[in-house]
Amino acid sequence: KIGQGACVFPRWIRPQLAREKIEGCHICTYVMPAEPQVVLGKDKAFTYDFVFDMDTQQDAIYGHCTESLIEGCFQGYNATVFAYGQTGSGKTYTMGTGFDVNIGEDELGIIPRAVNHLFRGIEERRQAATEQGKPVPEFKINAQFLELYNEEVVDLFDTARDVEARRQKSSVRIHEDASGGIYTVGVTTRSVNSAAEMIQCLKLGALSRTTASTQMNVQSSRSHAIFTIHLCQVRMCSPDNVSAPLRVAAS
Binding residues: 85-92
- Clarify whether residues 49 and 4 are in a common domain: yes
Q: How many domains are contained in the chain?
A: 2
pLDDT digits (tens, 9 = 90+) for 192-211: 999 999 999 988 888 877 65
Boundary residue ending a domain (55, 74, 94): 55
- Clarify whether residues 79 and 144 are in a common domain: yes
Per the rule left: phi > 0, alpha: psi between -120 and 50, beta: everything else, 85 is: left
pLDDT-flagged residues of the chain (< 70): 1-11, 98-102, 160-169, 210-222, 238-250
- Clarify whether residues 180 and 240 are in a common domain: yes
Binding residues for ATP: 85-92
- Clarify whether residues 51 and 4 are in a common domain: yes
Q: Residue 135: give the domain boundaries.
A: 57-250
Boundary residue ending a domain (55, 78, 97): 55
The neighbour count for residue 144, using CB atoms within 10 Å, is 21
- Clarify whether residues 66 and 142 are in a common domain: yes
Count helices and strands (H / E) in the chain.
7, 14
- Clarify whether residues 51 and 100 are in a common domain: no
- Clarify whether residues 91 and 22 are in a common domain: no
- Clarify whether residues 27 and 72 are in a common domain: no
pLDDT digits (tens, 9 = 90+) for 53-105: 888 889 998 998 899 999 999 999 999 998 888 877 888 888 887 666 567 78
- Clarify whether residues 79 and 181 are in a common domain: yes
| Cβ density class 191-212: b for 16+ within 10 Å, e for less | ebeebebbbebbeebbebbbee
- Clarify whether residues 151 and 244 are in a common domain: yes
Task: Report the run of H or E that residue 217 belongs to, with start and end.
Answer: none
